[in-house]
């Protein structure tokens, strides 16, 4: 069975214990992220890496897993390269959502983060995680090849020209690339840069976009992001000084594949006709959806009770789901 948040939590418990001593380091990490400091030296000591694993890894795991799931079963990599992989959240996410996966290689500039990631993964009930390779490598470096490259919460650590270079290098070495960034205006700006780079390399988008055209939100009028709710363990709450038993992580993402000669026309496998880009609003006898569609862009779709199966689907639909549900 695929690993899930309980397995990650158990592995974090085994390595971090209660993590009670990590609260000051976690607070310093949050302050560093809020200040927008970059490029990212932030994990370059063992205590910062432990604090990151305690307070951020469950959320980055949940966001990357949601992004990979949105790409659907068309994404069938055997090998994964996780660039700027830190403590390995994206490998956990890939192990949780890609049954085809057989091996994973994590690159990161922080030896303490990698060492910790290796210890956390060693406790996973999954051979890809337990057998992953962890290599210290500070970008710019030559990248090994893989079926899928992930860059999770990494592009934003780099200057814009470095972001373009690393995403282009990933696209040269991998058949599919997934980029996930914080769901903030700044994170979305980095994400758009990655999206443009992937399109410029001839890649086609599988998720979230229903097209390879200019993003309707590229003008800065709004930003494309999605929420994922995750449970907070006792350790997570303690280290963060939080009371709620859950948190909502907002993220922006793109998953793109090299343009397959086998499918030059039509949509790449897994790409939806449209995607719900805000919480659906339920009204009496109708559901109002905000949908990003190939044309005209962002549109409001009213699904009334008279629509039968579509209405029932709209009532169950959430922010981030494909629409229509049955192409």
Ligand X SMILES: C[S@@+](CC[C@H](N)C(=O)[O-])C[C@H]1O[C@@H](n2cnc3c(N)ncnc32)[C@H](O)[C@@H]1O
Among 97, 110, 197, 290, binds ligand X (CB under 6 A): 110
Scored b (16 or more CB within 10 A) or e, 237-247 reads: bbbbeeeeeeb
Size of the site for ligand X (CB under 6 A): 21
Closer to ligand X at the Cβ: 108 or 126? 108
Q: Which residues contact 104 (CB under 8 A, 6 or more apart)?
A: 79, 80, 81, 82, 91, 94, 95, 128, 129, 132, 133
Find the shortest distance in angstroms from Cβ 88 to ligand X.
7
Per-residue interface string for the shown chain with ligand X, residues 81-100, x marking contact by CB under 6 A: ---xxx--xx----------
Q: Evaluate whether 100 touches 78 at the Cβ level (below 8 Å).
A: yes
Find the shortest distance in angstroms from Cβ 213 to ligand X.
28
Closer to ligand X at the Cβ: 42 or 277? 42
Q: Evaluate whether 205 touches 288 at the Cβ level (below 8 Å).
A: no
| Structure tokens, 107 | 């690159």
Distance CA 304, CA 229 (A): 28
| Structure tokens, 60 | 């980055």
> Which helix (DSSP H) or strand (DSSP E) does residue 95 occupy?
helix 89-97
Find the shortest distance in angstroms from Cβ 169 to ligand X.
12
183 contacts ligand X (rule: CB under 6 A) = no
Closer to ligand X at the Cβ: 90 or 121? 90
Find the shortest distance in angstroms from Cβ 153 to ligand X.
4
Find the shortest distance in angstroms from Cβ 305 to ligand X.
42
Distance CA 232, CA 99 (A): 26
Closer to ligand X at the Cβ: 58 or 320? 58
Neighbours of 315 (CB within 10 A): 13
Per-residue interface string for the shown chain with ligand X, residues 24-63, x marking contact by CB under 6 A: ---------------xx--x------------xx--x---
Chain residues binding ligand X by CB under 6 A are 39-40, 43, 56-57, 60, 84-86, 89-90, 108-110, 113, 138-139, 152-154, 157
């Amino acid at each position: 069975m695929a690993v899930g948040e309980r397995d990650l939590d158990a592995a974090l418990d085994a390595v971090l214990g209660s993590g009670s001593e990590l609260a000051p380091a976690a607070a310093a990490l949050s302050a560093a992220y809020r200040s927008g400091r970059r490029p990212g030296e932030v994990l370059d000591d063992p205590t910062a890496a432990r604090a990151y694993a305690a307070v951020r890894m469950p959320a980055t795991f949940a966001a990357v897993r949601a992004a990979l799931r949105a790409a659907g079963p068309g994404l069938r990599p055997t090998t994964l390269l996780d660039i700027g992989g830190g403590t390995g959240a994206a490998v956990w996410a890939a192990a949780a959502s890609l049954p085809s996966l057989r091996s994973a290689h994590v690159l990161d500039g922080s030896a303490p983060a990698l060492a910790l990631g290796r210890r956390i993964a060693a406790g996973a009930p999954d051979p890809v995680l337990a057998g992953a390779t962890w290599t210290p490598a500070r970008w710019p470096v030559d990248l090994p090849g893989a079926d899928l490259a992930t860059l999770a919460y990494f592009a934003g650590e780099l200057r814009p020209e470095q972001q373009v270079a690393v995403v282009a290098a990933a696209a040269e070495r991998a058949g599919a690339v997934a980029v996930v960034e914080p769901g903030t205006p700044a994170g979305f700006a980095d994400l758009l840069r990655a999206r443009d780079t992937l399109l410029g390399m001839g890649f086609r988008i599988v998720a979230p976009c229903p097209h390879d055209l200019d993003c309707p939100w590229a003008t800065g009028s709004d930003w494309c992001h999605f929420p994922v709710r995750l449970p907070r363990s006792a350790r997570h709450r303690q280290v963060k000084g939080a009371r709620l038993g859950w948190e909502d992580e907002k993220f922006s993402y793109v998953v793109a594949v090299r343009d397959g000669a086998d499918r030059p026309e039509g949509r790449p496998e897994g790409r939806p006709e449209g995607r719900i880009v805000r919480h659906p609003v339920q009204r009496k006898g109708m559901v109002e959806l905000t949908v990003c569609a190939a044309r005209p862009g962002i549109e409001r779709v009213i699904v009334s009770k008279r629509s039968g199966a579509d209405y029932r689907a709209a009532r169950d639909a959430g922010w981030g789901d494909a629409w229509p549900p049955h192409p």
